[in-house]
């Protein structure tokens, strides 16, 4: 099972999924979690807030669709984690939850902020989920 975790620093789970800088990708085999890679991701939210690029431009390894005629798109984020089975976060908006689920990912929320601890608990079947994690929505 492949798990994507939004992060700012590859150590802690990002507090706001839509503004994360990348994804730690783990594989779980048996009761072991192993980090496979880190995928950089430049959301337009982060970039615009920090003056990184203008309207319509995208980021490093994974691009993010932006506002257009159809409105806000999570296309780049979805493309970045398309090969994963689970998306583990501390919170995100309900539209992103719906989009991830529509693309076949199981969305899980946790109160744990340390990625390694969360992944070890998930691998052992001991992760405490936080069903209120989808309450974040500031768009």
Report the CATH number that the domain containing residue 20 is assigned in CATH: 3.30.420.130
- Domain range holding 48? 2-135
Residues 6 or more apart in contact with residue 71 via CB below 8 angstroms:
none
Total of domains in the chain: 1
Question: pLDDT digit string (tens) for 49-80?
Answer: 444 444 443 333 565 444 343 456 788 899 99
pTM comes to 0.80
Question: pLDDT digit string (tens) for 118-133?
Answer: 999 999 999 998 877 7
Q: How far apart are CA 128 and CA 46, in angstroms?
A: 29
Residue appearing with tokens 């072991």: 32
């Amino acid at each position: 099972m492949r798990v994507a975790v939004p992060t700012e620093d590859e150590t802690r789970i990002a507090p706001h999924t839509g503004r994360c800088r990348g994804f730690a990708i783990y594989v779980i085999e048996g009761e072991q979690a192993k980090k496979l890679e880190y995928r950089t991701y430049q959301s337009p939210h982060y970039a615009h807030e920090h003056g990184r690029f203008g309207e319509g431009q995208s980021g490093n390894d994974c691009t993010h669709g932006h506002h257009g005629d159809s409105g806000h798109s999570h296309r780049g984020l979805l493309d970045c984690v398309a090969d994963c089975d689970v998306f583990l976060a501390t919170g995100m908006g309900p539209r992103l939850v719906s989009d991830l689920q529509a693309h076949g990912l199981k969305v899980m929320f946790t109160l744990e902020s340390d990625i390694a601890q969360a992944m070890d608990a998930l691998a052992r079947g001991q992760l405490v989920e936080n069903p209120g994690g989808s309450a974040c929505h500031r768009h």
